A and B are shown apart, each in its own frame.
Chain A
């Protein structure tokens, strides 16, 4: 059972984040779109709504500590640029995943945090599902708790067919490469 509640929390955040994308594809009317939260059982909902009982709040506390920690070659913390997350990160998570025009690709909250780390803080990327990245994402997403997902129209990618390059791994440490046998 280790870590299950946290995994569930992330799943719920994930469902909430990706629900609009699925709706975009299937064209579910806006009024009928529902959060993944509404598909959870009564006990799980009660636990998630009670900040005193939700173990995800422990990750939020971890994330707050990471937010304020100066690190890396730049010696910058998240708070060094963004300040108090309660104001600067309010409603931010509700806008993700967003289409990043500079990269020409969609970016989710975790990828955005990693972009900040590599470009601004000069720190290595955090692995997906790592404790630190989950904690930071939970902390940032917590500042938008209860807000509806609101992805701006301008942030949507132009409608087109998927290309293979859409699924390539982001830049970072080299992946092992399979080579043809001589």
Chain B
């Protein structure tokens, strides 16, 4: 199944208001250190990079490591400056890539 993504942020905000953005993505985050039932290492399969852009400008970036649990939940704050779209991007091992967008209206 494709990765499921949940984004939560307010639909509208006042100019200059600090808003919280929450993101959740389904991913096994296989660390690469675990051993399977056959005794062999399970190959690493993690998300390595998460970015968020606000009207094209990068406002948040996180590098993820094997110690991060499955279904990474990342929440952060930003200042609402103008109406526009947020683009969220996750990328990682085995060519994993997921993109999601969300709109914000600033009054």
Contact = CB atoms under 8 A, between A and B. Distances in A.
B40 interface: no
A5 B73 CA distance: 12
Contact of B24 (A1, A3, A53, A62): A53
> How many interface residues does chain B have, given as a range?
10 to 19
Interface string B41-82: 000000000000000000000000000011101010000000
Interface of A: 1-3, 5, 51-53, 55, 57-58, 61-62, 65, 131
11 contacts: A51-B6, A52-B8, A55-B24, A55-B26, A57-B6, A57-B24, A58-B4, A58-B71, A61-B4, A61-B6, A62-B26
A53 B22 contact: yes
Contacts of B69: 1-2
B26 A58 contact: yes
B16 interface: no
Contacts of A5: 71
Contacts, number: 39
Given A58-B4, A58-B6, A52 B70 contact: no
Given A2-B29, A55-B24, 4 more contacts: A52-B8, A52-B22, A62-B1, A62-B4
Nearest to A55: B71
A3 B28 CA distance: 8
Interface string B23-47: 0111011100000000000000000
Nearest to B69: A1
